[in-house]
């Protein structure tokens, strides 16, 4: 077996892990990962996908007496000439989608950080920065953005926002724009997109009916 054939078979075997890594990377906010990190994640997710598949067929074998609960994935590493089971890879890919969905949900809602904060192990909140923490908070709906450089104040509810504070982009709805120094109402608009310099803005969260 030449190297290219071996590599191709490995890619097929770890296709579930690659799919899982792609889904998690696509639907979660995280720091940029290197190719090596993606490879390691794909390897780990791939093993988890086959483990979940093995657990499923083991349960079916024990309780419904269907099949023998055997997985041929590990046999390939013992015998390089062993045939690859494409049906096994297919079901492992389904397992990978389930794992990716679970990991994405846990990451999005920061369940692991909440658990360790509850235990008192960490004080981290899980977002990339405080911008993400503020904008993703369930208690924050309406905000006031003060543009100190242009002497403007924007008041509205958050429709969308950038993933991190480097861009500091936010889309506000039902916006009222005031002169910041005097409080004079300048105009009202249904939606307004803001791209701001972090050093020239102040963001305030209003308490009251809007954030209840």
CATH number of 130-211: 2.30.30.100
| Tens digit of each residue's pLDDT (9 = 90 or more) over 54-72 | 888 888 877 776 666 566 7
CA 16 – CA 49 distance, rounded (Å):
7
Domain with CATH 2.30.30.100 in the chain: 130-211
Q: Which residues pair with 171 in a beta bridge?
A: 160, 193
Q: Is the pLDDT of residue 36 over 50?
A: yes
Rg of the chain, C-alpha, whole Å: 25
| Tens digit of each residue's pLDDT (9 = 90 or more) over 188-198 | 999 999 988 87
Give the least confident one: 37-41, 52-56, 147-151, 195-199.
195-199
Q: Are 178 and 156 in contact (CB under 8 A)?
A: no
Angular region, 126: left φ>0, alpha ψ -120 to 50, beta rest: left
pTM of the entire structure?
0.71
Compute φ and ψ for 90, nearest 5 degrees. Answer: -60, -50
Strands (E), the chain: 142-147, 152-161, 169-179, 185-195, 201-205
CA distances from 170 to 122, 142, 176 (A): 30, 12, 15
């Amino acid at each position: 077996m030449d190297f290219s054939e071996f590599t191709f078979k490995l890619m097929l075997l770890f296709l579930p892990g690659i799919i899982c890594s792609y889904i998690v990377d696509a639907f979660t906010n995280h720091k940029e990962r290197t190719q090596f990190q993606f490879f390691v994640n794909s390897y780990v997710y791939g093993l988890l996908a086959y483990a979940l598949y093995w657990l499923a067929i083991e349960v079916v074998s024990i309780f419904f007496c269907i099949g023998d609960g055997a997985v041929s994935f590990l046999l390939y590493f013992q015998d390089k000439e062993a045939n690859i089971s494409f049906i096994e890879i297919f079901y492992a890919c389904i397992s990978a989608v389930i794992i990716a969905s679970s990991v994405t949900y846990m990451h999005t809602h920061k369940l692991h950080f909440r658990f360790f904060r509850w235990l008192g192990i960490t004080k981290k909140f899980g977002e990339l920065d405080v911008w993400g923490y503020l904008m993703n908070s369930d208690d924050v709906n309406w905000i006031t953005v003060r543009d100190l450089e242009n002497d403007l104040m924007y008041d509205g509810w958050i429709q969308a926002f950038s993933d991190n504070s480097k861009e500091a982009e936010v889309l506000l709805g039902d916006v009222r724009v005031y002169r910041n120094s005097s409080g004079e109402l300048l105009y009202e608009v249904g939606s307004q997109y803001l791209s701001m310099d972090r050093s020239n803005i102040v963001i305030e969260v209003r308490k009251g009916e809007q954030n209840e």
